[in-house]
Structure 1
Amino acid sequence: MLLSWPHSLRLKYFSLCVLVLQTTSLVLTMRFSRTLVEEGPKYLPSSAVVSAELLKIIVCTFIVFLQNNFSVRAMNQQLKEEIVKKLSETLKLAVPAGIYTLQNNLLYVALSNLDAATYQVTYQLKILTTAIFSVFMLGKKLGFYQWLSLLVLMAGVTLVQWPVESMGDSEHKVLSASSQFIGVMAVLMACVSSGFAGVYFEKILKETPQSIWLRNIQLGLLSFALGFVGMLVYDGERVRKAGMFQGYSAITCVVVILQALGGLIVAVVIKYADNILKGFATSVSIIVSSLVSYFILADFNPTSVFVIGALLVIVATFLYSYEVKTPLISAIKV
């Protein structure tokens, strides 16, 4: 049955599934690398952000190389024509590049100051900010069921990640009020920046026929430049003393790879779907994380609140899919 679906539809749902897997892995490894790994000095978040952008540029360049039939000359010509000679188009991405760079750094700050549950619940506010920016910037018309699905989704995710009090759980009490405040503010700022930058980038991708990989090279180059400057400004002294890759380990490399791939997966998702649907995939990843913790790590016991929240998320997904069913078929015919 899946094989009978149009290619774009199959690609959309495949990318959404991969996004769930990538988001789940990224949150777990990032949290682990920032708080649970104590051997040696910690890596610089600003360095990890720059490394992820560099890796993304390399991957996209290789894909463009493949699209040009392994011709270095043809690839260089295309890059020159689309990036250098169309400098004004490239500079349009300076806004989302700067915001994405800020957002990625904020997520490291958040996961360094908040527990995973608080972080994941709060970060889901990006679904709401994305919906609002989509309405005002892209002119999207969200029906009653879509708005209702967003509210139900938020309620479900909150219930799924609702912290449970336990006598032996003292980790949350150790966190200082100032640390909690810094973490929450970082997440809130990341939510707003994620919503705006995502919709802005979606608008550019859908209004121009340029290759998504070329767009990501443009975005990556600007993000790399801005991130490198930011790293020198905020961590310049530490970089001069111990180098840019201080504190790097195998888990750090995994985080960088997942973050780089995440940007590419998100780009594919918003090319064939939209940012709100991407937000639903991210929300589902929270449930997947909980299931992995229960069945594999055996460090999580689901409660009735968790079950109710999971059901609400499923209902919300059906509500949203029902509302967009007709427009989706129209888009496939085009």
Structure 2
Amino acid sequence: MAMLKSREQISPAEVSSQSKASAAAKLKYVSLGVLVLQTTSLVLTMRYSRTLQAEGPRYLASSAVVCAEVVKIVACVILVFRDNNCSMRTLNQVLKEEILNKPWETLKLAIPSGIYTLQNNLLYVALSNLDAATYQVTYQLKILTTALFSVSMLSKKLGVYQWLSLVILMMGVALVQWPLDSQKGPEEVTENQEPPTGFQFVGLLAVLVACFSSGFAGVYFEKILKETKQSVWIRNIQLGLFGLLFGAMGMFAYDGTRIKENGIFQGYNNVTCAVVLLQALGGLVIAAVIKYADNILKGFATSLSIILSTLISYFWLADFDPTSLFFLGAVLVIIATFLYGYEGKPVVSTSKV
């Protein structure tokens, strides 16, 4: 009978291999926890910030989107700086060569950047009119749109389990959005103040458009990344520059009058700053999860986020009245999320930072 190796008999190479495996396992679960925390906190904080009763005007969603773009650009520049041995000279050279000296490559990012800017504004509209739990479940339709755009634009093939999961996903979202006779009508609101509950149809429409824009822009961005060898951080700086331009144009076009009256940062507080930071840095978290965790763990993170959002929305925000149809739909969405990654490699949408 073979004897187990004692600690002294284990070679340094085996020890190193075991240590790496242990570290990788820890990183998986750390990234899982961080993703759950980031996803849940962003949705709940954004929802809370849009329903918080405070003196003075409410902060402008268009302004928050622009601020998030600025934070994203700064974060990506810091990451490029770190990747180039913290050399300012090298950083300037890289930015000049990859952005200014390659105008065509930079212009390719204008389309997805404009769509992402629209999507970010729509998410504020959605969470101003939907409770966090309903939003979380419905927004999982982006899995469907990403899959369809991946099949049509990247010629990807989906397995049987993946197609089945998409059907279950649509059923689950339909149940969550099933109309109830007991739903209250829209509340009257004062000028410059969005409704605590709002029109559910407006929120649903905003989520659906955001899902389609997310699917198309994500697949388009993935296609560009595969066709070039530029760093993902450089690509996100390019996205951020266009996003800043489009966001500023939209901000002054839509909220120009309010900005003249009370300034760009009207209504800002600690909650607003937290929303901006969470939205800006979310892509970095997703990038870490894609690197260290598998699709099953990402599905598990999504499921935990939906459950936590539901509980907190009900017990803390008190803006959600769960029904049996909602719970059935949420369970179907969670099942679909797991099932989508069961067979073959899942369609991964490269998210914007």
Shared fold, TM over 0.5: yes
Say if 1:175 and 1:241 are closer, same or farther in 2 by CA, change over 3 A. closer
Say if 1:90 and 1:10 are closer, same or farther in 2 by CA, change over 3 A. farther
Structure 1 residue aligned with 2:80? 64
Match 2:95 to one of 79, 90, 94: 79
Residue 4 in 1 paired to residue 17 in 2?
A: no
Structure 1 residue aligned with 2:54? 38
Residue 50 in 1 paired to residue 66 in 2?
A: yes
Say if 1:323 and 1:45 are closer, same or farther in 2 by CA, change over 3 A. same
Structure 1 residue aligned with 2:241? 221
Structure 2 residue aligned with 1:198? 218
Equivalent pair of 2:140/2:333 in contact (CA under 8 Å): no
Equivalent pair of 2:125/2:203 in contact (CA under 8 Å): yes
Q: Give the TM-score of the pair, scaled to structure 1.
A: 0.81
Q: Which aligned pairs between 1:1-334 and structure 2 lie closer than 5 A? A: 3-4=20-21, 15=31, 17-156=33-172, 172-175=184-187, 179-266=199-286, 281-282=301-302, 284-292=304-312, 297=316, 308-309=328-329, 311-324=331-344
SS in 1 for 2:268: coil
**Could you say which structure has the higher helix fraction?**
1
Range with bigger deviation, 275-284 or 255-264 = 275-284
User: Structure 1, residues 279-305: CA drift from partner, whole Å, max 9, x if none?
Assistant: 8854552123124457x7496897766
Say if 1:101 and 1:326 are closer, same or farther in 2 by CA, change over 3 A. closer
SS in 2 for 1:124: helix
Would you say how many aligned residue pairs link Structure 1 and Structure 2? Answer: 322
Distance, in Å, in 2 between the alignment partners of 1:201 and 1:265 is: 18
Note the residue ranges of structure 1 that are not aligned, 5 or more in a row. Answer: 329-334
Could you tell me how far 1:123 is from its partner in structure 2? 2.5
SS in 2 for 1:224: helix
- For 1:75, the aligned partner's letter is L
Could you tell me how far 1:42 is from its partner in structure 2? 0.5
Distance, in Å, in 1 between the alignment partners of 2:26 and 2:223 is: 22
- For 1:226, the aligned partner's letter is F
Equivalent pair of 1:216/1:264 in contact (CA under 8 Å): no
Distance, in Å, in 2 between the alignment partners of 1:132 and 1:325 is: 15
Note the residue ranges of structure 2 that are not aligned, 5 or more in a row. Answer: 1-17, 189-196, 349-353
Say if 1:280 and 1:301 are closer, same or farther in 2 by CA, change over 3 A. same
Q: Give the TM-score of the pair, scaled to structure 2.
A: 0.77
User: Structure 1, residues 57-88: CA drift from partner, whole Å, max 9, x if none?
Assistant: 01111111111222111111111111111111
SS in 2 for 1:323: coil
- For 2:21, the aligned partner's letter is S
User: Structure 1, residues 173-231: CA drift from partner, whole Å, max 9, x if none?
Assistant: 44589933332322221111111011111222233221111111111111011111111
RMSD over equivalenced CA pairs, Å = 3.8
How high is the sequence identity, in percent, across the aligned residues? 67
Distance, in Å, in 1 between the alignment partners of 2:317 and 2:42 is: 19
Range with bigger deviation, 204-213 or 222-231 = 204-213
Distance, in Å, in 2 between the alignment partners of 1:236 and 1:276 is: 45
Distance, in Å, in 2 between the alignment partners of 1:90 and 1:279 is: 33
- For 2:339, the aligned partner's letter is L
- For 2:85, the aligned partner's letter is N
Say if 1:272 and 1:147 are closer, same or farther in 2 by CA, change over 3 A. farther
User: Structure 1, residues 77-128: CA drift from partner, whole Å, max 9, x if none?
Assistant: 1111111111111111000000000111111122223333443343232221
Could you tell me how far 1:235 is from its partner in structure 2? 1.2
Range with bigger deviation, 51-60 or 296-305 = 296-305
